[in-house]
Chain A
Amino acid sequence: MAIGLTHYLVIGAILFSLGLYSVLTRRNAISILMGVELILNSSNINYVAFSHFSSGNVEGQVYAIFVIMLAAAEAAVGLAIVLAIFQIFHTIDVEAAETLKE
């Protein structure tokens, strides 16, 4: 069977789900952020794959590049926040950081 669009999309889907799984189960903020990165990567695979198979131009690739850039920005901010949290709470377990409540 030739490697086609579906293969890439399935890889993307699996990455997406794994990312979601991390986000759902992890208590560690950094781990959750890693899950988010997985999600972003999964959609990037989609974009590049579609760019290749569907649109026939590089628009999808451009999109992927922007996603990567923004992922970097988000990671920077995210990790800054995580560090701030760590300074205050001395842990980055999201369950512990729960001053906010009803």
Chain B
Amino acid sequence: MDQPIQTDYLRWIVLLPLLGAATNGLLGAQLQKRFGKGLISTIAIAPVLGSFLLSVRALFDLVALQPEQRFLIDRLYTWITTGSLNVDVAFWIDPLSAVMILVVTGIGGLIHIYSIGYMHDDNSYWRFFTFLNLFTFAMLLLVTGDNLLLVFVGWEGVGLCSYALIGFWYQDHVNTTAGNKAFIVNRVGDFGFILGIFLIFWTLDHQGHGTVSFREIQKFASLLKNQEIWGGGVATLATLFLFVGATGKSAQIPLYVWLPDAMQGPTPVSALIHAATMVTAGVYMIARLHFLYSMAPLTLEVVAVIGVATALFAATIALTQNDIKRVLAYSTISQLGYMFLGAGVAAYGAAIFHLMTHAFFKACLFLGSGSVIHAMGGEQDMGKMGGLRSAMPYTFWTFAISVLAIAGTPLTGGFFSKDEILWQAFSSAHGSPLLWSLGVVGAGLTAFYMFRQLFLVFFGNSRADHHTQEHLHESPKVMTVPLVILAIGSIAAGWIGLPEVFGGSQFAEWLEPVFGKPHEMAASEGPELLLMICSVAVAAVGFFIAYLMYYRGALAPERFSSLAGGALYRLFYNKYYVDEIYQAIFVRGTLLLARTGAWIDQHIIDFIVDGSAKTTAYISWFNGLFDNYVIDGIVNALANITFWAGGKFRKVQTGNINSYLYVILGAVVLAIIVRLRYSS
């Protein structure tokens, strides 16, 4: 690999949003009071747009280079140097991170703009934009950081912002609890992530190349190959550790539980963080470390299995949810599962491709749902919606397009990316027909629940109360324009990654310097087409059932829900009771441990400490007792004398000279006897 080209503007891509966050964070309250909300949003949006423009510049710079040299770096300073550990604060852009920064700044920018409208009535406007900017900064740090530790900073940073934004309306207990849950579950993931970093660093360090920088790791990756720890390959274990981090951040089994609750945050937050950017960090990380993952087939298998399992699992839950955002949340989890499926079959390009298209349509969906909620005065229950089509045309159309995209309707973005993944799942060296078929089932479910949502929300008659109906309105321009752009993106984004059958993917080509050549499967055009048709057909079935059930009403949903005595439905509806199980085992378990610890502290350790003090006191008391009573007591009792000492004098047994003398005589005799015994 050639030496990267040092630039000096990449830092601004990352730092501009931080600047915005700092300004608003420190001065926002004052500024908002004095100059109004306009200034706040300007301060917040300008840096993001600036970052976007710089990202575009970076993209062009990259394009201008030879594919092998598409590599920009901006090294600021040395962050930590201790022993063999050397960590720089450096940002780098290669084709992969270029995609990511464009997504983050582009879609993020749109969501910023959308928020102007959505958050307009909130008093903590400045605080919202502060966190949004801070989040953008952290996310950019995550995708441009040139080493694992720096990425970890972003990794935790986005977690923090996610926490802050989920609990944005902190006066409500539910929101803050959701925030806590997100943070803590993410911490569990981060725990794995950091251990992965340690393992990689030390394994390389033992070979004399301790490093956490991606390029260096890639350079020395081969050294990890034959290293073993605990009976397994280091690469496998390290990637597994890192994958734990990914499951946390990207809401995969078993750490997905926080994401549905995270919907408590403002909708733009859900769009930005919990759909488009943060949750994809895990996918990005795997793609970034693809060279390691490729060395660890076992991990890949785990990733693929977890991915597809999550995809199905979340999809089944999504079938039954009534909250508009929760459906989207589970759908996000499910779609992320697809991305991991892609990554798990070593189709990193496909995973990233899906990541990108998903960012568009899912952001669009969330923002659309936000628009709906906005219009419905905060109502999120789909059971109380319906017929919004006419009242909110922009919202409806953009939403519909996105639904088409996510359902994998041919020629939309989602179609191309999802099919790429499914195709790879079938055909890649790591793939298998089983993975593919599960993926296809998931696609069918996706189509069903997305159309269910579409129908429930926008078609039919309104089920909302009178008051809400009267206030129905389309959202302002500032909100609809981003929707439109995103909707266009949902369609268009797919066209840069056409399948081999249709002429090959530009996107894959673009990522080629990063991931290397995709598998040479060109010879099998037939199967690819066939599989594509299969999945489309399954999706169509999903659509059709939804159509029958929720549009035509020809099929009562109850018929499905009462399958297997309703148990299945209840299982789905209650999210497999996973939350309850976690609560019982982990939360309560920890609290129990905590109370036990505190109890031990107070009652056992302090008891011992106080006890030793008490023992001393007791001994001293006994000593005094001995002095006062025992000696005199022996004297008096044996002598059997009458205790009489004249009426007017207190009878006290202490300070008695005779007994003092007894002690001495006793001691002297004792000493002599002891001496006798020893000398004889």
Instruction: Please determine if A and B sit in direct contact within the complex, based on CB atoms under 8 angstroms apart.
Output: yes
Q: Is the CB of B649 within 8 A of A96?
A: yes
Q: Could you give, for residues 9-26 of chain A, a 1 whenever the CB lies within 8 Å of some chain B CB and a 0 otherwise? A: 000000000001001111
Q: Is the CB of A27 within 8 A of B658?
A: yes
User: Within the complex, what minimum Cβ distance (angstroms) separates B565 from chain A?
Assistant: 82
User: Within the complex, what minimum Cβ distance (angstroms) separates A24 from chain B?
Assistant: 6
Known pairs A20-B665, A93-B645; A101 contacts B652 (CB<8 A): yes
Q: Is the CB of B645 within 8 A of A96?
A: yes
Q: Is the CB of B661 within 8 A of A24?
A: yes
B652-673 with Cβ < 8 A to chain A: 652-658, 661-662, 665
Known pairs A24-B661, A24-B665; A98 contacts B646 (CB<8 A): no
Question: Please, which residues of chain A bring their CB within 8 A of the CB of B639?
Answer: 25
| Interface: A1 (CB within 8 A) | no
CA distance A20 to B661 in the complex (A): 9
| Interface: A70 (CB within 8 A) | no
| Interface: B624 (CB within 8 A) | yes
User: Within the complex, what minimum Cβ distance (angstroms) separates A17 from chain B?
Assistant: 10
Q: Is the CB of A102 within 8 A of B657?
A: no
Question: Please, which residues of chain A bring their CB within 8 A of the CB of B652?
Answer: 98, 101
Question: Please, which residues of chain A bring their CB within 8 A of the CB of B646?
Answer: 91, 93, 96
CA distance A61 to B653 in the complex (A): 42
CA distance A23 to B658 in the complex (A): 7
Q: How large is the interface on A (under 10, 10 to 19, 20 to 34, 35 or more residues)?
A: 10 to 19
Q: Is the CB of A24 within 8 A of B645?
A: no
| Interface: A3 (CB within 8 A) | no
| Interface: B628 (CB within 8 A) | yes
A16-41 with Cβ < 8 A to chain B: 20, 23-27, 32
Question: Please, which residues of chain B bring their CB within 8 A of the CB of A98?
Answer: 650, 652-656
Q: Is the CB of A101 within 8 A of B657?
A: no
Q: Is the CB of B655 within 8 A of A26?
A: no
Give how many B residues have a beta carbon under 8 Å from the other chain's beta carbons: 18
Q: Is the CB of B657 within 8 A of A94?
A: yes
* B624 partner, pick from A20, A23, A94, A102, beta carbons under 8 A: A102
Q: Is the CB of A102 within 8 A of B654?
A: yes
Q: Is the CB of A32 within 8 A of B624?
A: no
CA distance A24 to B624 in the complex (A): 21
Q: Is the CB of A94 within 8 A of B645?
A: no
| Interface: A95 (CB within 8 A) | yes
* A25 partner, pick from B628, B650, B656, B658, beta carbons under 8 A: B658
| Interface: A86 (CB within 8 A) | no
* A24 partner, pick from B627, B654, B662, beta carbons under 8 A: B662
B590-648 with Cβ < 8 A to chain A: 624, 627-628, 639, 645-646
Question: Please, which residues of chain A bring their CB within 8 A of the CB of B654?
Answer: 98, 100-102
| Interface: A63 (CB within 8 A) | no
- Chain B residue with the shortest CB-CB distance to A29: B657
Question: Please, which residues of chain B bring their CB within 8 A of the CB of A96?
Answer: 645-646, 649
CA distance A25 to B659 in the complex (A): 9
CA distance A102 to B621 in the complex (A): 11
User: Within the complex, what minimum Cβ distance (angstroms) separates B86 from chain A?
Assistant: 71
User: Within the complex, what minimum Cβ distance (angstroms) separates B147 from chain A?
Assistant: 73
CA distance A91 to B656 in the complex (A): 15
* B658 partner, pick from A24, A91, A101, A102, beta carbons under 8 A: A24
CA distance A91 to B646 in the complex (A): 9
User: Within the complex, what minimum Cβ distance (angstroms) separates A26 from chain B?
Assistant: 7
Q: Which among A27, A93, A96 has the greatest number of chain B C-beta atoms within 10 A?
A: A96
User: Within the complex, what minimum Cβ distance (angstroms) separates A40 from chain B?
Assistant: 16
- Chain B residue with the shortest CB-CB distance to A21: B665
* B649 partner, pick from A23, A32, A89, beta carbons under 8 A: A89
Question: Please, which residues of chain A bring their CB within 8 A of the CB of B628?
Answer: 101-102
A28-67 with Cβ < 8 A to chain B: 32
Q: Is the CB of B661 within 8 A of A23?
A: yes
Q: Which among B628, B645, B653 has the greatest number of chain A C-beta atoms within 10 A?
A: B645
Question: Please, which residues of chain A bring their CB within 8 A of the CB of B658?
Answer: 23-27, 94-95
Question: Please, which residues of chain A bring their CB within 8 A of the CB of B650?
Answer: 98
Question: Please, which residues of chain B bring their CB within 8 A of the CB of A27?
Answer: 658
Question: Please, which residues of chain B bring their CB within 8 A of the CB of A89?
Answer: 649
B499-538 with Cβ < 8 A to chain A: none
Q: Is the CB of A95 within 8 A of B656?
A: yes
- Chain B residue with the shortest CB-CB distance to A26: B658
- 15 more A-B contacts (CB under 8 A) besides A89-B649, A95-B656? A23-B658, A23-B661, A24-B661, A24-B662, A25-B639, A32-B657, A94-B656, A95-B645, A98-B650, A98-B653, A98-B654, A100-B655, A101-B652, A102-B624, A102-B627
Query: 6 A-B pairs, CB-CB below 8 angstroms?
Result: A24-B661, A32-B657, A93-B646, A98-B652, A101-B628, A101-B652
B-side residues, CB < 8 A to A, are: 624, 627-628, 639, 645-646, 649-650, 652-658, 661-662, 665
Task: For the complex of A and B, list the 4 residue pairs with the smallest distance between their C-beta atoms, beginning with the closest.
Answer: A101-B654, A98-B652, A96-B645, A100-B655
